[in-house]
Amino acid sequence: MSRNTKINVLLLLAVAALAVLPLALGLGDHKEEPFTGADGEAETAITEIEPDYEPWFSPLYEPPSGEIESALFSLQAALGAGFLAYYFGLRRGRRQGEQRTRERDSGSPAADAAEESTAERA
């Protein structure tokens, strides 16, 4: 197994552990809604500390239901993941192109052999 494969397997196991351990260990069983977001937790903590607290502003858009809110959050996550994948793919492609250009310009044996085999096919 190559080094990269070992790293990928370890990363996948770590992600799986992060997803499964809170459920398996029963973290949050003592709460009414165990896996609420940080916004709800913060609101509860602030209300306990300062019961008369009033927010400085209100949301620009309040989704009509929790399902729509979840869908919008998922859409945001998907767009962010797509943007990151595009960016890293673009960087990798540019790096590979620069490396090929350097190899071609330096006259490396591998580049010369590739050019010869291309010329033989033509």
pLDDT for position 120: 61
Region 86-101 average pLDDT: 95
Region 39-44 average pLDDT: 80
Question: Is the pLDDT reported for residue 77 higher than 90?
Answer: yes
For residue 103, give the nearest of 94, 112, 90 by alpha carbon.
Answer: 112
Give dist(CA 104, CA 112) in Å, integer: 8
Q: Is the sign of the CA dihedral 100, 103, 108, 112 positive or negative?
A: positive
pLDDT band for 90, please (50, 70, 90 cuts).
Answer: very high
pLDDT for position 116: 58
Least confident of 40-49, 64-73, 113-122: 113-122
pLDDT band for 113, please (50, 70, 90 cuts).
Answer: low
pLDDT for position 23: 81
Q: Is the sign of the CA dihedral 38, 39, 42, 43 positive or negative?
A: negative
Reported pTM? 0.51
More confident residue, 58 or 27: 58
Q: What is the pLDDT of residues 44-53, one digit of tens each?
A: 889 899 989 8
pLDDT for position 107: 76
pLDDT for position 41: 79
User: Which helix (DSSP H) or strand (DSSP E) does residue 3 occupy?
Assistant: helix 3-24
